A and B are shown apart, each in its own frame.
Chain A
């Protein structure tokens, strides 16, 4: 599955548009990580635990996006966008969406 955030793919032509596909995950924070984060709020610096957590969540969302695209017969998702929203205290939703297409060689 080719995933790109551009609407054109070099060397390929869009044969068919299959519409919007999306994938999302909702992740809660870890209590242990939260305590570390509390300390970091005094000293400042990177919260490695959260960086990894959100990165993993995006991997999961992208996986769901490709599964959905795969199930409708697409071979690529173009114009992909990411979106993050805090839906509750301590939980955030990661959304990734894009246009499923069938690409062919030019």
Chain B
């Protein structure tokens, strides 16, 4: 019994410590790359302005599977008792979405695009390990990259 509590607390602490550190680092990396890709427009709309009439189009996508940490699982579990916002999972999904967009932008820039139109998100749960209820989420971002024709 005591051993179980100790294991639980150790996992909780590990999750809290490493999870927060990873999140902080990830957010810093996300912000740096978002600044770098600022010039590559991403639009969820599908109406093309006339400047893109002679561009080539190509499907681009970016995906990321991101796992929750143990601390977040426990906090979310407690949240379930009283209801309300689950802030710990909100930041997780925010990171995943922004990361997916960044990877899509990287792919678009690689093929020389100057905009990505009709961007769509898809979120799905990657089933957890046997017996564990909470696993990880996958976020996919995809859209049509518009590439200026040479000459």
Contact = CB atoms under 8 A, between A and B. Distances in A.
A85 B124 contact: yes
B151 to A, nearest CB: 14
A18 interface: no
Among A7, A11, A40, A62, the most chain B Cβ lie within 10 Å of the Cβ of A40
Interface in A44-61: 44-47, 50-51, 54-55, 58
Interface residues of A, number: 37
Chain A: interface secondary structure?
Answer: mixed
A7 B46 contact: yes
Given A5-B143, A47-B67, 11 more contacts: A4-B144, A6-B117, A10-B48, A10-B53, A41-B136, A42-B69, A45-B18, A47-B136, A62-B59, A86-B127, A90-B127
A42 B118 CA distance: 36
A46 B64 contact: yes
Nearest to B59: A3
Nearest to B70: A42
B58 interface: yes
